[in-house]
Each structure stands twice: as C-alpha cells, then as structure tokens.
Structure 1
Amino acid sequence: MKLASYADGSRDGHLVIVSRDLTQAHFATGIATRLQQVLDDWGFLAPQLDDLAVQLNHGKLRHAFPFDPQKCLAPLPRSCGWAVVGAEGGVQRDAGTFGAPHQPLRAPAEGHPALAAIAGDLAAASDAPAALDALRLLTLAVDWRLDGELIATQCAPLALTPDELGPGWAGGRLQARLHLLHNGSKQPARDVDAAPGAALARLARLRALRAGQVAGMSLGDLGLTLAPGDSLHLDLKTAEGSSLFGAIDLDIAPPDLTP
C-alpha cells in the first residue's frame, strides 16, 4: 500500500491511502488518522489499510478524490529518530520533524539524498533478517546541510510497503534510479542498490528501535552548486520510469532585492 499524510493544520497531518497509479486517494478515517498510530499497532491496523487500498485500486470507494502531492506533508512528519546509516553504523540525528516534499529552503545548502526505511519495534542486536521483518515502509528523504550542520530533512510525499515496489524489490534489496532536474535541466541519473534490513540491523546493534524510527541509506551527495532562486526536482523511479514515492520539489528562496 501507498500512504501519505495530508496537511490539515495539525503537526502530523491526516493519513490517506493512495492508489497504485497515484491518481486517487482516500482518507483512512475509521482505521487511523496518523501514520504513527499504524506503526504502533501494525499487526492490527495495517491489514485494514491494505483492504482499503485494494478497494481504492479497484475503484470501489465512493468517497475517493484526486490525489494532490501539493497537499502532502512528509508521510511521517515526526519520527522517533532519524539516522543515516553507513558501513560503520548509525549517525544519530535529532528526533524531530521531516519537511514536506515542496517545502522551500531559505538559503542554498548541500543536499544528501537517502532511501529512508521506517521501522516497527526492533530488539537490540537483531540480525538482518529480523530487521527486515521489522521494516514497515520506505520513502525518499534528503538531508540539507549548511556549513556541515543539518538544517532540514525533507521527504517525498509517499511511503510504501515493500510489496508495492515491484520487480525492483528482490531479496530484501531495492534497485531503482534517482532522477534529478536542476532548474529544469536533466542531470545524470544514478543507480540505487540498497538493503534496508541490513541498515536497520546496524542501527539496532546497541539499542532497541521504537516503532517510527527512520534509518536512511545514503545515496551520496547531489554534487550540485545551488544558488538563490534555483529549483530542484528529485524522484526515485523504477527501471521502467515509474515514480516510486512521488517527487521532492525544492525551491531556494530568491535573493532579497529590497533596496
């Protein structure tokens, strides 16, 4: 299933189910209103959401409406923690908020994209197969850093269960391509090969993970020089060119022209 959080004036947004072709959505009201609720009670609530997704994909929900990514917050606006995991383990970031997919930056910053794995509860010292079992959802995220300091983390509009990833998901690994547009100009796409179970296991080497912990697998830096007024479009796609998580569209505030 594909999940998103619509902005409704609250900190966490309102949970919606999104159709496989990204054209329709339906509120998950009656099952859960926030994604964290689902992560806390996954075994009971996720099957209900999956049934709703099946009905949506078959056009059987009377109150479905056109999906609008511009109305989305990050799928999980507030997490239990955010860490970018490398070969040497996890680098813990502050537990806090994730920015919306269209949230602008006030100044140019260095972008570091990552495949983000959203976990359920996971015991300390769990191995990779156990960690893979605790994987709940995947999405695309970007860390923005200014002078080496993390200033924001932005997420794509959708979080997906692994079964939605198609032939690019096999053996607990995701294979896809990261596509970038800088000021409308296409940049070289880069191949992505990531193992979320292994990343979560590395993060859980010394401590248990709570439902809602997010582990990022670095996709390198963007390698772009950004300037005020620039725009950036990032989209992780299948080999066939279908968007997996929806796009992150970033605008950097233009220079202040006030005399």
Structure 2
Amino acid sequence: MKLASIKTPTSRDGVLVVVSQDLSRYAVVSDIAPTLQYALEHWSRCEPLLQATSAALNADTNSGEAFSAQHAAAPLPRAYQWCDGSAYLSHAELVRKARGAEMPAMLYHEPLLYQGGSDDLSGPHDPIYIAADDWGLDLEAEIAVITDDVPMGVSVEQAHAHIKLVTLVNDVSLRLIMKPELTKGFGFYQSKPSTAFAPVAVTPDELADLWRNSALDASVVSHVNGQKLGAPNAATDLNFNFAQIIAHATKTRNLKAGTIIGSGTVSNRNPEQVGSSCLQEIRMLETIATGEAITPFMTYGDVVRIEALDANGDSIFGAIEQTVEAYAPA
C-alpha cells in the first residue's frame, strides 16, 4: 500500500491517507490512524486495516478523492529521528579522489551514519529556502526507509522485518558551508537544511520484486531546470543495504517507531553511462577530468525534480519537485 500525509492547518503532522497504486486517488483513514506516526506506533493493529482500505481503493476506480502531490506534506512532517548513511562508496571515493585523499579502510567494512534534523521535514513541492545564493546549494537524491520500534543490538536478519515503509528523499546540502563545517570535526549542522520527501511512502510488499535484500531495484532520476543529471539504479553498487545500516545504528541504542534511515546519495560506478544524483558528484568528475569544476550549484529560481521509476517507467513514490526561493526572515 501507499501512504501519504495531507497538509492541514489543524495538525503539524498532517492527516494520514491511503493512496491508490497509480497515485491518482486517496482515502482518509482517520478512523484507523490519525497520523502516520500513530500508525507506526500501533502497526500490528493498523497495518491490516490500512491494507484492507488500500485493496478497496484500488478495486474501485470511482472511489476516493483526487490526490494531488501539491497538498502532500512529507509522509512524516516531523520525525523522532532522521539518520542518513553513505551506502554508495563510489560517491565517497569520487569526493576523496578529487581532493587527492585516500578512503579510510574502515568505510568498506562499517556503514557511515550521521543524525540529521528531523523536526522540520519538507513536502515534495515545498520550496527550498536559502538566505544566500553563494552557499553551494545541491540536491542529493536518496532512498529512505521508515521503521517501527527496533531494539538495541538487532541483527541484520532481524532488522529487515523492521522496515515498514520505503520512500524517496532530497537530502538538500549546502556544499560551501559544509567544507568549513566538517573541518571542525563534529559533523553537519548548518550545511544541512530541511530534507524533502516524496508524496508517498510505500510498504515493501507493494514493491514486490523491486524490493530485494533490503534494497530498491529502481532507477532514481534527477533533473535540474529540466536537464537530466542521471538515473542510477538504487540497488546497484550498494555497499550496505538498509538492514545492515539499521543493525549498525542499533549497536548502542534503540530506534523508536518513526525513525527514518537514508541511503546517502544514490551513485553507481559508471556515472559516464548513468549520470549522477547530485551536482557535487558531477563537479568532482569534472575536477578529476580537467582539474576544474564547471557545473554550477543551484540558485534562486532553479527547479529540482527527483523521481524513482519502475521497469515500466511508472513513478513509484511520486515526484519531488522543488523551486529554490530566497528566504527573508520575518
């Protein structure tokens, strides 16, 4: 089934709805769960009722209301936890190669993970607000999963069953703020503004053969101002799947229901054929080839579009489409 949160002035967490497979219609399910967070916290009771609603909605094409991604919030407009990984080491290798640095050996054996801001997550059509256009604004197309309660010390085999939903992410980055921030040795903060999410989150059973070994076998297509950046496959060249990342995340702590885990920028080892999922990777390839990055970062008025497509070219989660706007403090 496909789930979404519709924006409402009365709730910061939106209203939970079930969306049809073709993303054209929805049914409000407040009688089952008022919000997605509630559903995740009561998944064993809510999931079969939501699945029944989904089956009925898909069986009757005249049922439900017209679904518009314009009205969708992030599936979890605010979450208890947003953790992002770096599961595609080809991406990390390029970044280090461009600056003449070696990859730490431990990154090939243990997932890299950081804890991002989760109190203000953007919907698929919310603007990307920045207060200055010289901060190196970049997109990062990623896959993410949402869990139920995961106990500390869970095994990789056990972790797979705790993945309840899969979705698509634009993990916005400010590259020119990120570099000096990282030199402090204490991770990201200012360089990571609000992360945006696709209109819907999808249960693994709905993905069928596209979901294997805790990875999504689908192309992630990114555009800026209508120009295609790339369409790498999210299951190809994946060094750590989501079960492995979750097991790593629970080594010393529990994960509570509603935790979101990101894959990091989707990247394949043949970007010359499939392209890239962020401008920084394109700039690194240019630097390696010519000694200079040519492609500019995004600025005011630019439009980014990210979409995951199945083998038929159909959108799985709906598209993230955001316009960069100048932020003016109140």
Task: Name the TM-score, length of structure 2 as normaliser.
Answer: 0.73
1:222 — aligned with what?
Answer: 278
Aligned-CA RMSD value: 1.9
Identify if the C-alpha distance between structure 1 residues 181 and 145 changes in structure 2 by more than 3 Å, giving closer, same or farther: closer
SS at match of 1:210: coil
SS at match of 1:17: strand
Equivalent AA in structure 2 for residue 90 of structure 1:
L
Give CA deviations for 1:107-166 in whole Å, capped at 9, x if unaligned. 351222221110111111111111111111011112212212111111011000001113
| Aligned residue runs from structure 1 range 141-220, under 5 A | 141-146=169-174, 147-148=177-178, 149-193=191-235, 195-220=241-266
Equivalent AA in structure 1 for residue 156 of structure 2:
A
Aligned partners of 1:228 and 1:255 also within 8 Å: no
2:297 equivalent to 1:251: no
Aligned-pair CA distance for 1:106: 2.6
Give CA deviations for 1:162-219 in whole Å, capped at 9, x if unaligned. 0111321123321111112221222331121152222211111211110011110112
Unaligned runs of 5+ in 1: none
Q: Give, in whole Å, the separation in 1 of the partners of 2:118 and 2:5.
A: 18
Aligned-pair CA distance for 1:26: 0.5
1:117 — aligned with what?
Answer: 145
Identify if the C-alpha distance between structure 1 residues 61 and 16 changes in structure 2 by more than 3 Å, giving closer, same or farther: farther
Aligned partners of 2:170 and 2:306 also within 8 Å: no
Aligned partners of 2:139 and 2:304 also within 8 Å: no
2:163 — aligned with what?
Answer: 135
Q: Of the candidates 283, 292, 304, which is equivalent to residue 232 of structure 1?
A: 304
Task: Name the TM-score, length of structure 1 as normaliser.
Answer: 0.92
| Bigger Rg, which one | 2
Q: Give, in whole Å, the separation in 2 of the partners of 1:60 and 1:41.
A: 29
Aligned partners of 1:85 and 1:202 also within 8 Å: no
Identity of aligned residues (%): 30
Q: Give, in whole Å, the separation in 1 of the partners of 2:82 and 2:208.
A: 26
Q: Give, in whole Å, the separation in 1 of the partners of 2:305 and 2:112.
A: 29
1:70 — aligned with what?
Answer: 70
Q: Give, in whole Å, the separation in 2 of the partners of 1:112 and 1:175.
A: 18
Aligned partners of 2:223 and 2:230 also within 8 Å: no
SS at match of 1:106: strand
Equivalent AA in structure 1 for residue 146 of structure 2:
I
Q: Which runs of 4+ in 1 moved over 4 A?
A: none
Identify if the C-alpha distance between structure 1 residues 123 and 251 changes in structure 2 by more than 3 Å, giving closer, same or farther: same
| Aligned residue runs from structure 1 range 85-96, under 5 A | 85-86=85-86, 87-96=110-119
Aligned partners of 1:203 and 1:215 also within 8 Å: no
Q: Give, in whole Å, the separation in 2 of the partners of 1:210 and 1:40.
A: 9
Unaligned runs of 5+ in 2: 87-109, 179-190, 267-276, 280-294
Equivalent AA in structure 1 for residue 38 of structure 2:
Q
Aligned partners of 1:89 and 1:202 also within 8 Å: no
2:30 — aligned with what?
Answer: 29
